[in-house]
Amino acid sequence: QPTAWEDAAGVHMLMRSTRGSVYRTDSTDLGRNWSMAYATALPNNNSGIDLVRTTGGMLALVYNPVAGNWGLVRRSPWPCRPTVAERGRTASISRRRRASSPIRRS
């Protein structure tokens, strides 16, 4: 289940994985060739992900911030975390009335 976006640098794709994090690949030729997929700093346990561009131009990603086997992790049944990125910065925002994670470079 990939999710993709395009910007001035090319086409980028995020993919869920069984390796504990969201993976990313990039293309500079409109998707004909892709870089080797690489792990991002976003944890993921092979749960679905989705990305949209807001009307303000920011990217919003929803993912499950759990790196382990989702069937064995004792957490809230809905730990999904919306993430918003703008100008190379990423903010992970918890829906559990706590402060969001710090903004970090993506």
pLDDT tens string for the chain (106 positions)? 899 999 999 999 999 988 889 999 999 999 999 999 999 988 888 888 888 888 888 888 888 877 876 666 555 555 555 565 555 555 555 444 333 343 444 4
Domain boundaries, the chain: 2-105
Here the tokens at position 3 are: 């999710």
Stated pTM of the model? 0.68
